[in-house]
Amino acid sequence: MKKYFIFFILIFSCDSQKLNWFEGTLEEAFELPNNKIIMVDFYTDWCLPCKQLDSETFTNNEVIQNIKNNFIPIKINAESKYGMPLFEKFKGTGYPMIIFFDKNKNEIDRMYGYYSAKTFLKKLNNISSGNGTFTDLLTKYKLGDNSSTTIFELAKKYFSKGDYDSSIELYEKVLENKDLSYNMFHQSNYAISMIKLKNDDSQTMENYIQKYPESFLLKKSIIDLLMYYKFSFLEKKETDLYEEYIDKFSDDPLFINQYCWRMTELNTNLNKALQKINLSLSMIDENDTNKAMINDTKAEIFWKLGETDKAIITINESIETDPSNEYYKNQKRKFLNSIN
């Protein structure tokens, strides 16, 4: 009986491993007397992929053991007084951002977003072995490896580091290579267009969209250009682009929803938006998690058209689908208050 009890305790202990994060600063981590790689997780309190990484990936026993053996893990709130300057220093572009450093403070590699435990383990193993990391690719390139694959992967690494000048230079070299694949061709052109878009040059993206209408990155390119027009207050260009492609992407309920919501913000084409949002709803399953959001868009269209009763009925459907969502409840209050 005693043996079984001890065995149970051992099993329980293994199953309840916890990742112990280093509680000092990044500078203090660099001073620790070991040669482990430093893993810095930049997060925010509101970031859903950050929370998912914490609850699913960083609780996995294999991930925990791998980090314990090979890394010094540090968590830094990217919006804190200490974390914000660091996030800016390392040119962060999203959350979570995980950067790996060697003991000499050199960046080995970085990654963004959520990864499952299985994928994260593979990434950790690559970091530990130095396979396919930024430093690995840079070394190969400096030693004369001019294959399109090496240059392409290095260009992506520079892009993730926020070094857009180096990135665009390498993407242009990729396009000069004869062993270029179809995917690399379009991904390189798209990346160059995106970098220029960040620098307020929309012409390159516009040309890419017009020149390669069959590109597998067409929709992504159009959405990026639409966002650029929106935040640059180029409403005529934005509306024209939406109208040009709304029928082409009529099989995508989320693109339709984006179009319809934007029409409510611009207060234009509302009757067409109502037709399109009904099409979007007809394409999704009853239990689709996007149903509440799409019904919210439909309710907003009704409200903008002055049909408040229909807006209230429709937003009630969103609330019924997602009863804990305060935004939908606020939408209903807005509609009700507009009657009084």
Cα torsion 202, 208, 214, 216: sign: negative
E strand or H helix that includes residue 296: helix 291-304
Q: What is the pLDDT of residue 83?
A: 96
Q: Are 263 and 269 in contact (CB under 8 A)?
A: yes
Tell me which residues of the chain have a pLDDT lower than 70: 1-16
Each residue's pLDDT tens digit, 185-204: 999 999 999 999 999 999 99
Q: What is the pLDDT of residue 109?
A: 94
Q: What is the pLDDT of residue 16?
A: 55
Q: What is the pLDDT of residue 287?
A: 85
Q: What are phi and psi of 42, to 5 degrees?
A: -85, 120
Q: What is the pLDDT of residue 312?
A: 97
Each residue's pLDDT tens digit, 53-103: 999 999 999 999 999 999 999 999 999 999 999 999 999 989 999 999 999
> Which domains can be identified in the chain, with CATH numbers?
19-129 (3.40.30.10), 246-340 (1.25.40.10)
Q: What is the pLDDT of residue 56?
A: 94
Residue at 96: amino acid letter: P
Beta-sheet pairing, 71-77 with 37-43: parallel
From 126, 108, 117, select the one nearest 39 (Cα to Cα): 108
Q: Are 170 and 151 in contact (CB under 8 A)?
A: yes
Half-sphere exposure of residue 175: CA atoms within 13 angstroms, side-chain side:
14
Enter the tokens of residue 278.
Answer: 């009904």
CA distances from 159 to 91, 109, 162, 196, 197 (A): 10, 12, 5, 12, 14
Q: What is the pLDDT of residue 289?
A: 85
Q: What are phi and psi of 111, to 5 degrees?
A: -145, 150
pTM above 0.85, yes or no: no
Average pLDDT of the chain is 92
CA distances from 107 to 100, 104, 162 (A): 6, 9, 13
Query: DSSP letter string over 123-188?
Result: HHHHHHHT-S-HHHHHHHHHTT---HHHHHHHHHHHHHTT-HHHHHHHHHHHHH-TT--HHHHHHH
| Residue partners of 31: CB distance under 8 A and separation at least 6 | none
> Measured between alpha carbons, how far apart are the two ends of the chain, in Å?
73
